[in-house]
Structure 1
């Protein structure tokens, strides 16, 4: 059986893996679903200094204190910006890396400009404000996601979508505006990328291909881990099984 560390997306938390985790554990796997500082049940710990480096350390500490080795690391959405920093520090403890419709950043980039939310010069100014202890603590990602869902409902049961939307929390602005110190281009080991069909991550799919990562397709949307946990788990386990038998 395998050990999984599942990293969540923006505005979410470890809770978002509820259905995937249950399926994996039912098959006998060990699963960790940590929540980044400032998200979910840890939203009370947010601050202007809480960003990518904080979240990298959150996960490195999980590896350290849980004494984890031979881990399958799965990064969804925002977590694609965290995974490279984690791999740089504890890569020898990671057996497989899977990006689940996640952001593929290069070193030095910022999410807000990378994803086209605002021009780079505006993001840099905002980041400087945060460094000076000024500016907004949160980025409003949770409200952006709720508004988007009204225009384009998720491909899932309405009750489950409501469960997802009700639990969303804000994302620290530093995580959105701050530079990502360690980018995806630094990852030396093979990466498998699961690309959703209906998503804002299409440009990230192209980046994954350009890096030579192995691509896998899923017919769902960006919230596939909630909308189709069965299909998501099937894909993940097929990837893991292929690596084990190789």
Structure 2
């Protein structure tokens, strides 16, 4: 039996791992799918203060209070900015690190600027505004994802895509604008990176290669955990087995 902690992407929540979780649990594994503060069923806790450090603490607390050890940590999309901070604080509890088409930040970067959405100087000003208790609470990422799906549908059946889109919630603006204090370059463990073929994360794939991470290609899109849970689980299990974690 292997213990998995699965971290979700932007606008999502622990719920997005439903199909992957069911498959892993059917194989007898323990699976935790925590939701970051301000997302999903915890959307009512959002606020201008909710950023990277809050989300790192969310997961460190899960590891501590659930007394988890020898964990396979899987980070999808936005969670790639959270995983390095978790590893820095609780790396002794984590056996294997897998990035699932996730953001690969460097220390001191901000999501919106490293992804090319907002210039750094504007983002720094926005973050200062939020620090002062002013400015927008949410980033509108859920609306953006629904609009994008109209012209570029996900690689999944229509009903499953509708389930995904219906459950999206906004992402705290602070999580998008704040400095990420602990970047991926600090991770002192081998990392395996699952790279989707159809994604906005191509530059992140290059960053993963530059860090010497092992790359595993997947023919799906950025929502592969929902569109192809079987293929996602297959890759995760192969990686875990190669590390002696499964």
Number of paired residues?
Answer: 246
**2:182 is matched with which residue?**
182
Distance 1:80 1:159 in 2: 28
Equivalent positions of 1:1-40 (< 5 A) are 1-40=1-40
1:44 deviates by: 0.2
TM-score by length of 2: 0.99
Distance 2:124 2:114 in 1: 12
**2:229 is matched with which residue?**
229
**1:205 is matched with which residue?**
205
Distance 2:10 2:238 in 1: 26
Equivalent positions of 1:123-142 (< 5 A) are 123-142=123-142
Q: Does 1:165 align with 2:165?
A: yes
Alignment gaps of 5+ in structure 1: none
Alignment gaps of 5+ in structure 2: none
Distance 1:234 1:52 in 2: 30
Equivalent positions of 1:4-153 (< 5 A) are 4-153=4-153
Distance 2:57 2:119 in 1: 28
Distance 2:219 2:106 in 1: 27
SS in 1 for 2:219: strand
1:243 deviates by: 1.2
1:81 deviates by: 0.1
Q: How well do the aligned residues superpose, as a CA RMSD in angstroms?
A: 1.0
Distance 2:182 2:133 in 1: 24
1:159-213, CA deviations, whole angstroms, 9 ceiling, x for partnerless residues? 0000000000000000000000100000011000000000000000000000000
